[in-house]
């Protein structure tokens, strides 16, 4: 029986069948329960904890996801590396539906979401200049390319909007004019909370459509996004499984030392 995990996957509910010898664990955290029971199992030789970030029945819209509980739960299980697949809109004409983007930068356009663990006493300022794990990114890009994915983009800026609505055309054009690449709703504060717990965090962003300012038509509809994602679930599942196995077994990145020399107001799990 596996009760701890090295790698965390925060994803959609289509990914349960990834795990062998799966076991479900109900966890509580100081931030409430995570989005759902955590499923722990194996992919190849790696132990993996899986949390569907929207809940199995999709009850949490992006702005209501218990991000702090999810990351805390993963760390309490021993997770050091987090893989975060998600659906995104593209801000660049050349990245069409089906492209995989592994961003290296992020712009936060969310508002009102709890985005730190350190809001009790004392100041804890983590570095967020490079929000993503360089080792995880390299593994994700190399794996997507080696599995013949097709359109794989190494780097780029993910803009995270508050949602649940999509961008207006003007917002979307403004994002694109800044040179930013993709738009999503869940990449923040997930990424910064991972950093605040000294976890490696890698985004695997699947482009489902062009954002409103990039396409000439009516803009994105929810049905289009869901339909596209459903058609790509099997491919994504394979890519996630391969990427999990390609993540380094020894951490040589600096993510694990994000809190070195900082006096924390409480003990981490």
157 forms beta bridges with 105
Q: Please tell me which residue in 20, 108, 151, 211 is annotated as part of the active site.
A: 211
The two structure tokens encoding residue 196: 């605040």
User: Using CB under 5 A as the criterion, what x/- string covers residues 181-200 for binding Zn ion?
Assistant: -------------------x
Does residue 253 interact with Zn ion by CB under 5 A? yes
Assess whether 211 carries a catalytic annotation.
yes
Among 37, 161, 244, 255, binds Zn ion (CB under 5 A): 255
Q: What angle do CA 137, 221, 210 make, to 5 degrees?
A: 45
Q: What angle do CA 247, 2, 83 make, to 5 degrees?
A: 30
Check if the beta carbon of residue 79 is closer than 8 Å to that of residue 199: yes
- Measured from the CB atom, the residue of 27 and 140 that comes closer to Zn ion is 140
Span from 25-33, 127-135, 160-168, 226-234 in contact with Zn ion (CB under 5 A): 127-135
Q: State how far the alpha carbon of 191 is from the alpha carbons of 17, 63, 106, 120, 259, in Å.
A: 25, 14, 9, 20, 15
Shortest gap between Cβ of 74 and Zn ion (angstroms)?
14
Assess whether 209 carries a catalytic annotation.
yes
Give the whole-angstrom CA distance, residue 39 versus residue 17: 10
Shortest gap between Cβ of 197 and Zn ion (angstroms)?
12
Shortest gap between Cβ of 187 and Zn ion (angstroms)?
16
| Alpha helix segments (H runs only) across the chain | 67-76, 134-146, 169-177, 187-196, 222-246
Q: Please tell me which residue in 108, 151, 209, 250 is annotated as part of the active site.
A: 209
Among 99, 133, 153, 183, binds Zn ion (CB under 5 A): 133
State the catalytic residues.
209, 211
Binding site for Zn ion (CB under 5 A): 133, 200, 253, 255
């Amino acid at each position: 029986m596996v009760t701890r995990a090295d790698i965390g996957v925060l994803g959609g509910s289509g990914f349960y069948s990834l795990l062998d010898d799966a076991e479900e664990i109900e966890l509580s955290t100081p931030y409430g329960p995570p989005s759902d029971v955590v499923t722990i199992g194996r992919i190849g030789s790696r132990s993996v904890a899986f949390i569907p970030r929207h809940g199995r029945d999709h009850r949490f819209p992006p702005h209501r996801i218990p991000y702090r509980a999810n990351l805390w739960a993963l760390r309490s299980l021993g997770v050091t590396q987090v893989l975060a697949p998600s659906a995104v809109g593209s801000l660049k004409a050349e990245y069409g539906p089906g492209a995989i983007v592994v961003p290296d930068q992020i712009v936060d356009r969310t508002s009102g979401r709890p985005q730190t663990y350190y809001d009790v006493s004392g100041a804890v300022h983590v570095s967020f200049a490079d929000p993503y794990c360089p080792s995880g990114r390299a593994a994700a890009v190399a794996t997507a390319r080696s599995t013949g994915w097709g359109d794989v983009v190494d780097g780029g800026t993910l803009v995270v909007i508050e949602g649940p609505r999509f961008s207006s055309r003007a917002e979307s054009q403004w994002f694109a004019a800044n040179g930013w690449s993709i738009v999503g709703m869940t990449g923040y504060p997930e990424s910064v909370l991972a950093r605040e717990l000294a976890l490696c965090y890698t985004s695997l962003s699947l482009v489902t459509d062009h954002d409103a300012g990039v396409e000439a038509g009516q803009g994105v509809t929810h049905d289009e996004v869901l339909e596209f994602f459903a058609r790509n679930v099997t491919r994504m599942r394979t890519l996630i499984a391969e990427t999990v196995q390609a993540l380094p077994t020894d951490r040589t990145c600096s993510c694990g030392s994000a809190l070195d020399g900082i006096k924390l107001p409480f003990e981490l799990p």
